[in-house]
Amino acid sequence: MKIIVCGAGSVGRSIVSYLVKGNNDVTVIDNNQKRLDDLAQEFDILPILGSSSHPSVLEKADAAKAKLLIAATNDDEVNLVTCSVAQALFGVPRKIARINSREFQNPLWSTLYSDKNIPVDLVISPDEEIGKYIYNMLKIPGTSEARPLVGGKMYLIAFKVPENSPFVKVPLLNLKQIDDDIDIEIVCINRKNNIFIPYKSDALEAGDEIYVLTATDKIGLTMSAFGAEHSAIERLIVFGGNAVSRCIGRMIEKDDNIISCKVIEEDFEKADETARELNDTIVMQGPMMSDKILSEAGIYGADAAVAVTTEDEDNLLASMLSKKCGVKNTIALLNSPAYNSLVDIAGSNILVDRSSVTISHILHELRKTEVQSAYSLGRGFAEIWEIPLTEDSKIAGQTIKSLDLPASSKICAIVREDETIYPSETEVLTIGDDLILYVDSASIRKVEKILG
């Protein structure tokens, strides 16, 4: 697929890093030559220098042949004009615009985005999405990922199996013998960076990161059964005053269970902007790694610390320093795939990959099948898809075995008339089913072809 990405900043880079994995023909437009050069050295892209809102620049990018345009510059107005020009002059069929301003995101103006007004098919706000994602993880402490499915009725959660878990060394088919109340599907296991779909005869090991499907109202029960439950978070410290932290702050201010949130920001203007936007959040201006600032923020009594600055080194350092100060739950945002090599030394700190969160919001625009919702897992090793079977679905009426899915992908669950089924290969797929699929990144094209 020919895709044009406008903007080579952190958001554009995160999108490009994912798109190039899928054999897409990616062109990147930016008015900064250095950013383009850096991106072109890292990824197989066609760099175009100039403003994406200019018709001549889009023509140079061969926009008439593009199937998708993603306007992801730092300027909302440029993104909106780019989509308009792409539609009017080049007939680009699908257009996504990054919108930062909450004014443009106001539901009151939702009719603004239409073919008659501004032709934008999907509005994304990556910083807002990351803020919501981190808030979700704070509400389920101990998880390294938390993804809602089937309208929030189910969750895919990931967490590490502790050494004292009663399920260590127990084959998966025997889990119910240990705890009869457990009702889950283990989708995949990350064992020392080796990710695989387990057989029922496989046993869990201490330290395994497992991805588990469970009903939303049974998340606490599931975590407790594995011995992975954490105390609820009441006191939070956030490193970095920006759009992500402001989004987290707004949600926490509506949450009666989190009684304290403090934001530390070194830059005076950013700290002032954050303080003006948030009402009940304490914003502290000063060096983030200062012992005095950390002590005044209450680091030694905090339940969680979240580092969301634009600098990955600062985020990793802040989370590890917080862990050293006794903070049990630490989360660090990674903005660039260049820091993949530092994942191992991060220890028990939870790392959030900007590209994975950002791309999850637009995956249904990239997939060649009717995906209801889709998420990129980990640092892009696989995806989870939710697919409703309609009368047009060519796989309806077939058994799972007859689909001949790749060994690295599977149908994990079927939601049928409010009943959740963790199916065997003999299960017949029925119109009206909601399928939850795990798809390895290397198998995406093959699975798309099978599903039609």
Residue 26 falls inside a structural domain: yes
Q: Is the pLDDT of residue 348 over 70?
A: no
CA geometry: angle at 48 spanning 47 and 50, to 5°?
140
Question: Based on the structure, what is the number of domains in the chain?
Answer: 4
Per-residue pLDDT of 217-228, as tens digits, reads 999 999 999 999
Q: Average pLDDT of 328-357?
A: 74
**381 and 431 part of one domain:** yes
In the numeric block, which tokens belong to residue 209?
């990161």
| pLDDT range class, residue 368, cuts 50, 70, 90 | low
**386 and 440 part of one domain:** yes
Residue 112 falls inside a structural domain: yes
Is pTM, for the whole model, over 0.75? yes
Q: Checking DSSP bridges between strand 2-6 and strand 68-71, what pairing results, if any?
A: parallel
Answer for the pair 426, 399: CB distance below 8 angstroms, yes or no.
yes
Query: Which candidate, 271, 347, 351, places its Cα nearest to that of 307?
Result: 351
Q: Average pLDDT of 83-93?
A: 95
Q: What percent of the chain has pLDDT over 70?
A: 97
**CATH code for the domain of 219:** 3.30.70.1450
**315 and 392 part of one domain:** no
Q: Is the pLDDT of residue 59 over 80?
A: yes
**CATH code for the domain of 81:** 3.40.50.720
Q: Is the pLDDT of residue 323 over 60?
A: yes
Q: What is the pLDDT of residue 429?
A: 94
Q: Using CA atoms, how far apart are residues 295 and 297, in angstroms rounded to an integer?
A: 5
Q: Using CA atoms, how far apart are residues 143 and 115, in angstroms rounded to an integer?
A: 41
Show the domain range for 441.
368-451
